[in-house]
């Protein structure tokens, strides 16, 4: 086996080993993402696309060369078999055909597994990102749920406090209203007492004035009687003078 095909075979075995390791179930995508974030891999990631395309081109060239060799020795094998040449030459052609077919399989599977490896790494990276996003969203949802529960509890406490304050204020308002009504009643009682006293005083004054009026009226009647008597006496005296 020449050096190039030995390298392709080693590359194929390495791809198989890496894919098997990537498919291990007990290594999570998050662990692989941490591994991919190692500084060495970060530096290699800059050249990853170029390296991938370079290896793809090399494997395609080797695959096409292997296809050409298989077609070449297949046609020679048929021609020499039809010509009935000696067995040593036929065995040599068979060996060449076997090597070309082996190289075809090596290059073909290497090319296929290289594409599978790239796709596997891409999917693991995307899955790790999705898992991180899912964990972040789950954390946010849990935090939002806890915050909502906390706010609801605080709202209930505030409502209870407001209800208690409302009842206290209502009670205080009722007490204030009662006190005010009592003060108004006392004030009205005082006013009523004052009014009663003033009315009694006015009534007494009216009675005194009435008594005085009765006395004045009697005195007036007495004076009128005296005046009439004096008038009669005067009239009699004048009548006597006229006679």
Which of the residue ranges 73-77, 109-113, 170-174 has the most confident prediction, judged by mean pLDDT? 109-113
Q: What pLDDT score does 97 carry?
A: 82
Tens of pLDDT, residues 115-161: 998 888 888 888 888 888 888 888 888 887 887 787 787 777 777 77
Give the chain's mean pLDDT: 77
Per-residue confidence band for 213, with pLDDT thresholds at 50, 70 and 90 = low
* pTM, rounded to two decimals: 0.54
Instruction: Return the CA Rg of the chain.
Output: 66
CA 138/CA 142 separation, integer angstroms: 6
Per-residue confidence (pLDDT) for residue 123, from 0 to 100:
86
Nearest to 114 by CA among 9, 11, 4: 11
Cα separation, 128 vs 30, whole angstroms: 5
Q: Report the pLDDT value the prediction gives residue 87, as an integer from 0 to 100.
A: 65
Could you give the CA distance from residue 223 to residue 227 in angstroms, rounded to a whole number? Answer: 6
Instruction: Categorize the per-residue pLDDT at 79 as very low, low, confident or very high, splitting at 50, 70 and 90.
Output: low
Closest CA to 113 of 9, 41, 38: 9
Confidence band of 165 (pLDDT split at 50, 70, 90): low
Looking at residue 42, what is its pLDDT? 67
Question: How confident is the model at residue 136, as a pLDDT?
Answer: 82
pLDDT in tens, 13-34: 998 998 888 888 888 877 877 7
3-state secondary structure 15-32: HHHHHHHHCCCCCCHHHH
Q: Which range among 57-66, 68-77, 130-139, 163-172 shows the weakest confidence by mean pLDDT?
A: 163-172
Please give the pLDDT value at position 160. 75
242 vs 210: which has the higher pLDDT? 210
């Amino acid at each position: 086996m020449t050096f190039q095909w030995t390298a392709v075979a080693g590359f194929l075995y390495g791809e198989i080993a890496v894919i098997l390791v990537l498919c291990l179930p007990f290594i999570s995508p998050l662990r692989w993402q941490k591994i991919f974030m190692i500084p060495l891999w970060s530096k290699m990631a800059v050249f990853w696309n170029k390296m991938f395309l370079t290896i793809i081109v090399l494997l395609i060239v080797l695959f096409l060369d292997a296809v050409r060799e298989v077609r070449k020795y297949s046609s020679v094998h048929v021609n020499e078999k039809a010509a009935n040449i000696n067995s040593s030459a036929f065995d040599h052609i068979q060996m060449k055909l076997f090597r070309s077919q082996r190289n075809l399989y090596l290059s073909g599977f290497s090319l296929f597994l290289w594409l599978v490896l790239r796709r596997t790494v891409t999917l693991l990276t995307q899955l790790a990102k999705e898992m991180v996003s899912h964990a972040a969203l789950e954390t946010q949802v849990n935090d939002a749920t806890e915050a909502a529960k906390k706010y609801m509890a605080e709202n209930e406490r505030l409502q209870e406090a407001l209800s208690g304050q409302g009842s206290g204020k209502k009670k205080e308002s009722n007490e204030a209203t009662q006190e005010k009504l009592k003060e108004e009643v006392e004030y009205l009682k005082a006013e009523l007492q004052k009014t009663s006293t003033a009315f009694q005083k006015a009534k007494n004054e009216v009675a005194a004035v009435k008594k005085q009026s009765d006395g004045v009226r009697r005195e007036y009647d007495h004076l009128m009687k005296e005046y009439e008597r004096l008038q009669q006496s005067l009239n009699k005296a004048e009548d006597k003078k006229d006679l």
